[in-house]
Structures are given as C-alpha cells and as structure tokens.
C-alpha cells in the first residue's frame, strides 16, 4: 500500500507501508543503530516521534518477544529504507510487519494453508466465506486470515469478522471450486492439497495430496 510522509516545510516523500495502517503525526527523528530496532520500537523515550532508521535493511531478524523492553509501542511512526519481509533469526517468533500490525490494533489468524493453495484473494481480492468447521459459542472478532508464506500477499481475508479462533481449530474456506486448484502452485516448495468431489452428498477423493517427493520427482 502506498505511504506518504509530508514534512512541515512542504517536502513530500512517497513509499510503501507495512505494519498497522492509518495516519499519524509526530516529530521526525533518526537512529543510526545497525541492530536493535526492536528495542527502538519499545523505547518510551521515542513517545510521539517518527523514528527513521539510517541502516538500510530493517526486519531481517524479526521480533523476539524476550527482547521487548516495555509494555508496547510508543513511537508514532517507523521509517526505513528497505523493509525485509523474511526474517532469519532463530529466536524470532514473528515478523516486524506482524508485530506492528498486532500492536497497532490488528489481529491475525494464521492458518496452515497459503496463497499457493488458493491464490484468488491475493491475486484480485476475491471474497471467500470462511467458517469454523465446528461451530462454537465464541465472541466475534475482526481479524485478517493469513497463511505461513513469507509474502505480504499471503492472505485469505482482511478485516473479516469471525468467531474467535483458537490453536487446533479447523476453518473452511468456502466456494474454492475447481478454479482454485487450477490456479494452485508449488510456490515456496509447498505441496498442493488434495481434491475432493462431492456427489449426491458424498465426498470422495479425486486427487491425492502431493508430497515432497512429488516436488523433486522431475529434477535431474
């Protein structure tokens, strides 16, 4: 999504946004650290300021919950030159993008399916109903339903109201149909799912789930 930074002297800078969306105001300051952006985010001394990181690549170590210095975010904006979507630190539990969204008021349901399984929402924002397989009496929450692929386009729904989801719950993405499988791929080394045909109310498999061996079978 496009982002704009407008300064008081009239200069305007354009870029791309990540993290929680919306508008914010504050004093633009800078930090020259090569590491420790997570500590910067949770440093109370930056309250109400927009921090610009001068080091080029930010996000490559993700977010480690053990390194959070305070109860949450205090700065009003975070400006970087190159945001790295994929993180590689073994201590990290989430991406910088997910952390900023979660602490900016956005909640996520992360499922094991990905954009490679059903591309339509990411490709042209197709709407698919998402429902719990087993109905439970839980309060509704507004969430983004996303997959595990390291891409900002790996989502199935945005700002969707769903009954609260807990680990281990099964969700049904409705109306995927044959076109959904035709558009599926092995992107990110992910095997494609199985296909089932429902005929006269009876479901039967018509294509088995792929395995890792299927992915490398044609390699020479």
Residue 150 among the catalytic residues? yes
**Residues 29, 86, 141, 150: which is the catalytic one?**
150
Q: Is the dihedral of CA 100, 104, 106, 109 positive or negative?
A: positive
Helices (H), the chain: 37-41, 96-103, 120-124, 177-182, 212-216
Q: DSSP letter string over 64-128?
A: -GGG--SSS---SEEE-SEE-SS---TT--B-HHHHHHHHTT--EEE-S--TTT--HHHHH----
User: What gap in Å lies between CA 197 and CA 177, rounded to an integer?
Assistant: 10
Q: Residue 13: helix, strand or coil by DSSP?
A: strand
- Positions marked active-site: 150
């Amino acid at each position: 999504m496009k982002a704009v930074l407008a300064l008081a002297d009239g200069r305007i800078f354009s870029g791309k946004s990540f993290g929680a969306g919306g508008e914010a105001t504050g004093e633009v300051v800078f930090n020259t650290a090569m590491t420790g952006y997570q500590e910067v985010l949770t440093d109370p001394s930056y309250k109400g300021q927009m921090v610009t990181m001068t080091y080029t690549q930010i996000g490559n170590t993700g977010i480690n919950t053990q390194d959070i210095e305070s109860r949450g975010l205090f700065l009003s904006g975070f400006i970087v030159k190159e945001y790295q979507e994929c993180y590689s630190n073994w201590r990290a539990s989430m991406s910088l993008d997910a952390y900023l969204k979660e602490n900016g008021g956005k909640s996520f349901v992360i499922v094991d399916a990905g954009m490679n399984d059903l591309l339509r929402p990411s490709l042209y924002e197709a709407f698919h109903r998402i429902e719990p397989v087993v109905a439970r009496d839980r309060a509704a929450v507004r969430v983004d339903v996303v997959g595990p692929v390291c891409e900002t386009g790996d989502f199935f729904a945005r700002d969707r109201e769903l009954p609260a989801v807990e680990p281990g719950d099964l969700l049904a993405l409705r109306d995927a149909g044959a076109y959904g499988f035709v558009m599926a791929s092995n992107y990110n080394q992910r095997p494609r799912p199985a296909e089932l045909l429902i005929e006269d109310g009876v479901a039967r498999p018509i294509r088995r789930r792929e395995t890792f061996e299927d992915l490398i079978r044609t390699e020479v």
